[in-house]
Every structure is written in C-alpha cells, then in structure tokens.
Chains A and B, each alone.
Chain A
Amino acid sequence: MHADRFNRFALILFGLLLAVAGAAGLVASAGGFGHRFASHTLFANQVSSYIGTNGTWVWAVAAAVGAVLALAVVRWILVLLISTDRAGTITLPGGREHGVTQLQPTALTGALTREIQAYHGVASAKGRLIGDAASPRLVLTVTAAPTTDLPTLHHRLHDQALAHARQALGNTSLPIQLDLDVSR
C-alpha cells in the first residue's frame, strides 16, 4: 500500500477508535449501560478483574505487543520520511541476448518537457514518472499562455509528445496524466 494511502487508512482507524471510545464513555457516563454501571468505578468491570487476576502473563503480552508496535512504527516513520512515489530506473522491453537497455526517468521527462516547451503557446512543462519501474505512470503538467488555442495544443500533445513518451518506453498503453494549466 502506498504511504499516503496507508497514512489515510491509519488516521481513519485512529479517528474511528477515538470516536467509538468517546461515544462509549459518554453512553456509560450517562447511564446508557445501566445506572448501576454508571455508579461503578472505571476498573469495576470484568475486563479489569481478568487483567488483575492474570496480570503476570497479560502484562508480558502487553510488553510484547508494545515491542511489535514500536518496530512497526519505526518502519512506518522511515517510510514517511524517505518514501517517494517516483519510479526508479526503467528496463526497456526487448530481447536480452545482446544486453538490456535501462532508462533513467529523468532522461525521458527531460527530453519530453524540452520537446513540449518548444510547442507554440507553451509557457512551461513539468513531468515525472511515478509508480513501480515495471509499470510506471507519466504525470505531465503543461502551462500554456492565456491566449493559446488549448484544444489544438491538447491534440498536438496527445499526437506527438505523449506518443513519443509511449514509443520511448515501448509501451503503447503507458498511463499518462496530463494537466493543462494556463499562466496568468
């Protein structure tokens, strides 16, 4: 799972836990679980009694869970701090009898943005290859001048630049996200 998706999942889970704990506390406090329960102390329940009588192994398990949690969190933090969605070096398809050809993503995006910037009406272009190197996805952002004929530019980008990118990677169905913007 990608880091951003996992972050969202973890935050949703945490939010859900907080909401459920808060709601349960409010219900218990207001007598929703019975007025007798509301007049009990926080530890006067079966779970607390069980932990009290089985403390030796329950706390040992808690420490083990704490260790697993700490290790998982270290991994999560490392992913958060160093992860990137950029694709690594791409191996081009073709026969391997005479060696393999590898392509640095920046070589492709550099050539592509230079080509696009030479198009009439283009103010700037940015590109990056994201995802797995075996099945990358190209994300292009092209900023045009305000008076540019955008449909013509769009067709030219589709027929030339995007076709060139697909040809370079030997993948006629390379997924491409093209964002057209207009400069102020």
Chain B
Amino acid sequence: MRLLNRPLALLLAAALGAVGVIVIVEVVAAALNVRPIVVPWPTWYHWAARTRWDRTVIKVWSAVLLAAGVILLAAELKPPRATRLPLDVSDDATDAALTNSGLAGTLRAAATSIDGITAADVVVRRHRVHVTARCAARGRTAASAFHDPVSQAVRGRLDSLELRRPPRLTTRVAPRSR
C-alpha cells in the first residue's frame, strides 16, 4: 500500500490544490460581478436549491461517497503483510530478520538436499510454513518413504535459523505425477 500511497496522495493534493484555486478565482470573479470562470457554480447552486434530501440521486451519491471512504480507510488501516521474520539478536540496536523469500529459499534447499527429491514448493505465511517436496518416485507409498528424511532436514534447517518466533511447519511429499 505504501507504493500506492504516493500516487494517491499526489492525486489528492492536486485535487485539493485545484479546489483551492477554483474557490479563489470564483470568489474574486463574483466580487467583480463577472460570470463564473472555471465552474458553472450557479447551475449547481440552483440544482441544490431545488433538490430534496430524499431524492434518489442523493442516496446514490451518498452511497458512492461512503463506499469510497470505507474502501480507502480499509486499505490504509489494514496491517501491512509481514515480509520478514525477526532473528534472535543479542543487542537492541540491531533489527535482523530473514525475509519470507529467504526462508522459502533455504527450506527449499534443505528439502532438495535429500536424495530423490527433485523440487520443493515452500509457502511462507505469518505463523506457518508449508513445504511440498516432490520426489522422483511414483506412487504414494514410495513418496511416503521420503516424508521423514524431508521433514527432518527441513525442521533441522528451520530450527538452526535462530528465528525469534519460528513459524509452524507442515511438510508433505508428493510423488512424481507422470
């Protein structure tokens, strides 16, 4: 969201600046008894002077404003996705962490270090890591023989990383599909 905030803020700033300038121009024009210069505000004024609150157009525009506000608030207030897992460090001045992709990479390497494992997919969530290793053998029975060695290798690697709050680990071994 931080990346999107800059263009959004730029749009908001430009819109606010435009509103400020338009107000100045129209107030000066009205004071000089000149016709509206930038926006046809008398038309808007007459429309608002004859439109009642219970008209459908008011309901629709109010709903649009409410929806836009709620979407913007939800996007801004949503906690950012965790992309790094803090490491245990001896001093307070250092904030060391392993990135999610770094954890996935090192666990993938641990899984594929087992003979017979050809590839591994690692999905890192905030409190959970799923490792799916693929073995060269066909059939579930053959794949199940790899479960313990893969689990041990991946668990050992995860435990050695000195993460402050290690995520929960689930390991699965899938047989060769064809």
Contacts and interface: CB of A to CB of B under 8 A. Distances in A.
Interface residues of A, number: 69
B69 A73 contact: no
B98 interface: yes
A96 interface: no
Interface string B87-130: 10111111111110111111011000100000000000000000
Question: In which size bucket is the chain B interface?
Answer: 35 or more
Given A63-B28, A73-B17, A150 B98 contact: yes
Interface string A2-31: 001001101110111111111111101111
A67 interface: yes
A137 to B, nearest CB: 9
B52 A40 contact: yes
B84 interface: yes
Interface in B57-96: 58-59, 61-73, 76-77, 84, 87, 89-96
B38 interface: no
Contact of A20 (B69, B84, B113): B69
A174 B94 CA distance: 8
Contacts, number: 225
Given A17-B69, A180-B96, A76 B13 contact: yes
Contact of A39 (B8, B52, B66): B52
B27 A22 contact: no
B174 to A, nearest CB: 20
Q: Is the contact region of chain A dominated by helix, strand, or loop, or is it mixed?
A: helix
A107 B62 CA distance: 55
B32 to A, nearest CB: 12
Contacts of A11: 5, 8-9, 12, 72, 76
Nearest to A14: B12
B100 to A, nearest CB: 9
Interface stretch (B18-26, B138-146, B165-173): B18-26
B23 A4 contact: no
Interface string A84-119: 000000000000000000000000000000000000
Contact of A181 (B20, B73, B99, B161): B99
A16 B70 CA distance: 8
Interface of B: 2, 5-6, 8-10, 12-14, 16-17, 19-24, 27-28, 30-31, 45, 48-55, 58-59, 61-73, 76-77, 84, 87, 89-99, 101-106, 108-109, 113, 160-162
